[in-house]
């Protein structure tokens, strides 16, 4: 990458979709042009849109639900995410007391006052508290705070968040869900189905009312379920639902990833990391969500008391690598699950695609045996990370 005398960025790399050498010109915050070239790329680096993660609970020792969250700690998390090629993400807070959620969104809103941070955060994701109260289905969420949806309560959170809550994950079988989902859609809030024991009729109704995403499908569920009548099949079968999955090698088996991708197709699936503050921390025992969790050296985070996974710790890049290894996807197909598809389902029309006019959120990386090594990250036309 070099800068021209006029201040434009000139990037020579291999296009992640075509495998052909290209020259990308960046002017200001936007991609000005993309031209094929007959030459070779001396660096051997690939270029793709920056990664987009719609479920990040924390990172690099920073918990987005911690009462001490401030602009400085958020910046530490953002910079660590840039190193992994993530240029946009939704800070995610989960089920908690009303008082705690008000505090969480107040802290997150304050962090957005930073001009750099706000470029990487298009909105927030509220996962819960309107989820199933049944053991197993609420996962590691604190069950004492699980409750039915309340639009008035949600609007308190939205006001506190400065209108930045972009996505809500809920269980559609709860009383009051229909009006809540319809109001979300009317007010531009994306509704996702998750941590649910809903029937096929309830899932179908939720989609009719406006739900469009399935949150980490295959997880947030009891270990023992009916092999026919369970929440998975209706979500896989509904073409209006885009499923999100955690492809870290712990939450789903390779065969599940392959089947999910085959069923939903390349356009109706996205990857999420669902990482917690433990990402970047040394393995050991920690307290998360009020309980002791064990974090192993292979990236597994488990709550022994509840006998369940307690979020994840591996970066979104790992999911891209695993889709190539386990599901037979090529590089372009895998990366579209964390770029193009996520931008589409979140309505981020200014990013996620290598096209002139789009925001210049880009990553340059090496690829060796399905292993991605990020070398440079560009956010809105400015380099925010380099490994050099």
- Residues with Cβ within 8 Å of residue 77, at least 6 apart in sequence: 58, 59, 60, 62, 64
| DSSP SS3 for 377 | strand
Find residue 332's DSSP bridge partners. none
Torsion of CA 293, 297, 300, 306, to 10 degrees: -30
Quickly tell me which residue has 């789903």 as its tokens. Answer: 252
Residue 297's region, left for phi above 0, alpha for psi from -120 to 50, else beta, is alpha
**Which token pair is 140?**
């590691």
Predicted pLDDT of residue 5: 55
**Local structure of residue 144 (DSSP, 8 states):** G
Residue pair 335/23 in contact (Cβ under 8 Å)? The answer is no
Counting Cβ atoms within 10 Å, is residue 287 exposed (0-12), middle (13-18) or buried (19+)? exposed
- Residues with Cβ within 8 Å of residue 350, at least 6 apart in sequence: 358, 359
Predicted pLDDT of residue 1: 66
Quickly tell me which residue has 């070779």 as its tokens. Answer: 40
Torsion of CA 80, 329, 231, 128, to 10 degrees: 10
Domains of the chain: 2-48+353-386 (2.30.40.10), 50-346 (3.20.20.140)
> Would you give per-residue pLDDT tens digits along the chain (388 residues)?
677 656 799 999 999 999 999 999 999 999 999 999 988 888 899 999 999 999 999 999 999 999 899 999 999 999 999 999 999 999 999 999 999 999 999 999 999 999 999 999 999 999 999 999 999 999 989 999 999 999 999 999 999 999 999 999 999 999 999 999 999 999 999 999 999 999 999 999 999 999 999 999 999 998 889 999 999 999 999 999 999 999 999 999 999 999 999 999 999 999 999 999 999 999 999 998 888 999 999 999 999 888 888 889 999 999 999 999 999 999 999 999 999 999 999 999 999 999 999 999 999 999 999 999 999 999 999 999 999 7
Quickly tell me which residue has 């433990």 as its tokens. Answer: 278
Residue pair 367/46 in contact (Cβ under 8 Å)? The answer is yes
Residue pair 57/276 in contact (Cβ under 8 Å)? The answer is yes
Find residue 385's DSSP bridge partners. 377
**Which token pair is 78?**
């953002």
Is the overall model pTM greater than 0.85, yes or no?
yes
d(CA 334, CA 332): 5
Residue pair 196/220 in contact (Cβ under 8 Å)? The answer is yes
Residue pair 96/145 in contact (Cβ under 8 Å)? The answer is yes
């Amino acid at each position: 990458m070099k800068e021209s005398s006029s201040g434009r960025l000139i990037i020579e790399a291999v296009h992640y979709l075509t495998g052909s050498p290209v020259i990308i010109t960046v002017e200001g915050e936007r991609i000005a042009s993309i031209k094929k070239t007959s030459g070779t790329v001396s660096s051997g680096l690939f270029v793709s849109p920056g990664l987009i993660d719609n479920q990040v609970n924390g990172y690099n020792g920073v918990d987005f639900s911690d009462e001490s969250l401030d602009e400085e700690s958020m910046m530490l998390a953002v910079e660590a995410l840039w190193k992994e090629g993530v240029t946009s993400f939704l800070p995610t807070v989960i089920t908690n007391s009303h008082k705690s959620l008000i505090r969480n969104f107040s802290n997150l809103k304050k962090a957005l006052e930073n001009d750099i941070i706000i470029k990487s955060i298009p909105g927030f994701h509220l996962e819960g508290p309107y989820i199933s109260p049944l053991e197993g289905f609420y996962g590691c969420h604190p069950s004492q705070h699980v409750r039915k949806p309340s639009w008035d309560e949600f609007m308190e959170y939205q006001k506190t968040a400065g209108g930045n809550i972009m996505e809500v994950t809920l269980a559609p079988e709860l009383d009051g869900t229909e009006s809540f989902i319809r109001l979300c859609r009317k007010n531009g809030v994306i509704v996702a189905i998750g941590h649910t024991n809903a029937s096929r009729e309830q899932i179908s109704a939720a989609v009719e009312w406006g739900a469009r995403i399935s949150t980490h499908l295959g997880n947030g569920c009891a270990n023992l379920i009916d092999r026919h009548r369970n929440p998975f099949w209706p979500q896989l079968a509904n073409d209006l639902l885009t499923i999100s999955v955690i492809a870290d090698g712990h939450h789903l088996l390779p065969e599940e990833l392959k089947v999910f991708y085959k069923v939903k197709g390349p356009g109706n699936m996205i990857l999420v990391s669902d990482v917690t503050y433990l990402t970047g921390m040394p393995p050991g025992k920690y307290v998360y969500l009020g309980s002791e969790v064990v974090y192993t050296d292979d990236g597994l985070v488990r709550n022994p008391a509840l006998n369940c996974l307690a979020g994840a710790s591996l970066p979104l890049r790992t999911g891209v690598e695993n889709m190539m290894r386990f599901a037979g996807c090529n590089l372009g197909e895998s990366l579209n699950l964390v770029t193009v598809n996520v931008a589409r389902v979140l309505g981020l029309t200014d990013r996620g695609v290598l096209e002139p006019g789009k925001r210049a959120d880009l990553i340059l990386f090496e690829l060796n045996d399905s292993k991605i090594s990020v070398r440079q990250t560009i956010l809105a036309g400015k380099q925010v990370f380099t490994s050099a």
